[in-house]
Amino acid sequence: MARNDAILSMREILVKRRDALRKALAGDLSLLKQLNETTSGDVIDAALDSAQDEINSQLAEVESRELASIDNALERMREGTYGLCEGCSSKIPMARLKALPYATMCIECQREAEREGGLGGGGADWGRVPDVGTGDADLTINDLELS
In a domain, 58, yes or no: yes
How far, CA to CA in Å, does 32 sit from each of 19, 37, 61, 65, 127? 20, 9, 13, 19, 29
pLDDT tens-digit map of 43-79: 666 666 776 777 777 777 888 888 899 999 999 999 9
Asked whether residue 96 is domain-assigned, the answer is yes
Is 100's pLDDT higher than 70?
yes
Residue 28 domain-assigned (yes or no): yes
CA geometry: angle at 114 spanning 21 and 138, to 5°? 85
Specify the pLDDT at position 106: 94
Provide the domain limits for residue 26: 2-125
pLDDT-derived band of residue 109, with 50, 70 and 90 as boundaries? very high
What is the distance between the alpha carbons of residues 19 and 23, in angstroms, rounded to a whole number? Answer: 6
Q: What is the CATH number of the domain that holds 22?
A: 1.20.120.910
